[in-house]
Homo-oligomer: A and B are copies of this chain.
């Protein structure tokens, strides 16, 4: 049973931690992007060192006070917001934002958990290297949160998820002990992989305070194209064709439905739309090639073969870096446009690649049996990962459909589950999908997760209610 933060507890901590650790609570720490959760008060702490994080966790473990680790606040499943239960300590990593070291010859960078993704990208770039993790919120998301949630993004196809870009972590475990795992090794088979256990555990098993990250060589030449594909199956066929011709040179392969372009036109007129009249399905292909290779030639050749095969009907190849950035601005603005329209229910799902056409074909008619909606389906089709978001028709608002939200979610998730997919592809479970995990998850997996949680965090202080239900 957890206890709330008390004045006595706070006073005790003040005697043990530097003044700079204590921060005035502001609303920013109690909100999340979609407005589904609102945090309660509690004590806001901003430790400056791993030892201070350890001191905080030791105190919280002793007093059985809950701890909410806080990164950039960009999570979409409420993992950073504890709306109920005993008032917790919120530990923000924002003061631990140093890039401690870059080893260009090793393609390794050591960053603290509070480093913002864009800063890490820039630090790598300054040494002539690429940190390939990239997603819409990279200007505010922090490394610790990105690892805790095993973030995905647009380059997973080529470079993997966040976990694949991490060689080692420094972390504080629930008892306040410090795991010194900042290894810069490509191979290290010395026991259980605690790094991979902490990554994706969403702050429930430990607080990551720093990480050794993999870098990649910067491709010698980059390029991008938009192609109008016949349908989702054609998008998959185009992907196979592209990978067969260009191999790992295909860095990203994103699918967008016409609905997204319409939302952009409606809510973000400042975004320049590439098509005069958007086709039903558009693919954005991004290439990064080695020396002596021409992305333009590669894309022209790909388009020609795809057109001959009946997969694509139209295409735009970026003729400059600015035009390539423009294509990406379209893709990366979709989440904000969605937010301005206001989704009734958003779904971050994955299915086996070959099940994508089935999913899209079946989900629309199934939803139509619940009501009349607009669907914006887009995402990382090369990873089998779609953002399938359901909106009211013009003239209605999401508030008009609150009563249908549960049915919509169940409809989409049941279909995903039937197709062997996942109801949380890249956003994680947080507090939003705890019930989904109980409903769709393997009970054996859940029991093992619970056993691990209880073994490492017997008092249940770390991010209570995330992934697993908080103990009553």
Contact = CB atoms under 8 A, between A and B. Distances in A.
Interface of A: 103, 105-108, 149-150, 152, 156, 160-161, 163-164, 173, 177-181, 183-194, 196-197, 199-201, 205, 217, 219-220, 236, 240, 243-249, 288-293, 350-354, 380, 382-385, 420-429, 433, 437, 440-442, 444-449, 451-456, 467-468
Contact of A192 (B191, B205, B382, B426): B205
Contacts of A179: 442, 444-445, 448
Contacts of A442: 179-181
Given A189-B149, A354-B105, A448-B456, A183 B385 contact: no
A117 to B, nearest CB: 17
Contacts of A421: 185
A354 B423 contact: no
Give the oligomeric copy count. Answer: 2
A258 B342 CA distance: 67
A187 B197 CA distance: 16
The 8 lowest CB-CB distance pairs between A and B, nearest first, are: A196-B196, A455-B455, A248-B248, A188-B422, A187-B425, A184-B352, A186-B383, A106-B353
B186 A449 contact: no
A396 B149 CA distance: 56
A176 to B, nearest CB: 10
Contact of A380 (B105, B173, B187, B249): B187
A155 to B, nearest CB: 12
B449 A194 contact: yes
Contacts of A160: 164
Nearest to A243: B217
Nearest to A351: B185
Contacts of A447: 177
Contacts of A453: 192
Contacts of A107: 353
A383 B185 CA distance: 8
A87 B440 CA distance: 40
B245 A185 contact: no
Contacts of A178: 444
22 contacts: A108-B352, A163-B196, A184-B353, A185-B351, A185-B421, A187-B422, A189-B427, A190-B422, A190-B423, A191-B437, A191-B445, A191-B467, A192-B205, A192-B467, A193-B197, A193-B199, A194-B445, A194-B449, A217-B243, A244-B291, A247-B248, A247-B288
Contact of A189 (B186, B245, B420, B429): B429
Contacts of A105: 236, 240, 353-354
A255 to B, nearest CB: 14
Given A191-B441, A193-B196, A384 B186 contact: yes
B106 A185 contact: no
B426 A189 contact: yes
Given A150-B193, A173-B448, A451-B456, 18 more contacts: A103-B353, A149-B189, A152-B189, A156-B187, A160-B164, A164-B164, A178-B444, A185-B384, A185-B420, A186-B353, A187-B350, A190-B433, A190-B441, A191-B437, A191-B446, A192-B205, A245-B291, A452-B456
